[in-house]
């Protein structure tokens, strides 16, 4: 599992989208950043899924990892 840093988005310039699910992350919301890979997520769950998918995002979301 990636090492995540939790931050709050403070400026409109820093708004982004989750690198796994694409959910918009706006001012005032929490952001989970993996500094090692330069990726941002809306939740630790998305970070875990992206780590499992090796950074390709939800290419085939119907496939379970179990």
Query: Per-residue pLDDT tens for 25-54?
Result: 999 999 999 888 888 999 998 888 887 666
Nearest alpha-carbon partner for 50 in 15, 8, 22: 22
Percent of the chain residues topping a pLDDT of 70: 74
pLDDT for the residue numbered 50? 80
Rounded to the nearest integer, the mean pLDDT of the chain is 82
Nearest alpha-carbon partner for 47 in 60, 59, 36, 32: 32
Task: Compare 65 and 19 and report the one with higher pLDDT.
Answer: 19
Contact of 22 with 56, CB cutoff 8 Å: no
């Amino acid at each position: 599992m990636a090492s995540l840093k939790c931050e709050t988005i403070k400026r409109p310039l820093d708004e982004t989208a989750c690198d796994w699910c694409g959910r918009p992350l706006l001012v005032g919301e929490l952001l989970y950043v993996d500094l090692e890979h330069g990726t941002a997520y809306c939740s630790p769950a998305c970070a875990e899924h992206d780590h499992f998918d090796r950074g390709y995002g939800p290419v085939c979301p119907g496939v379970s990892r179990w």
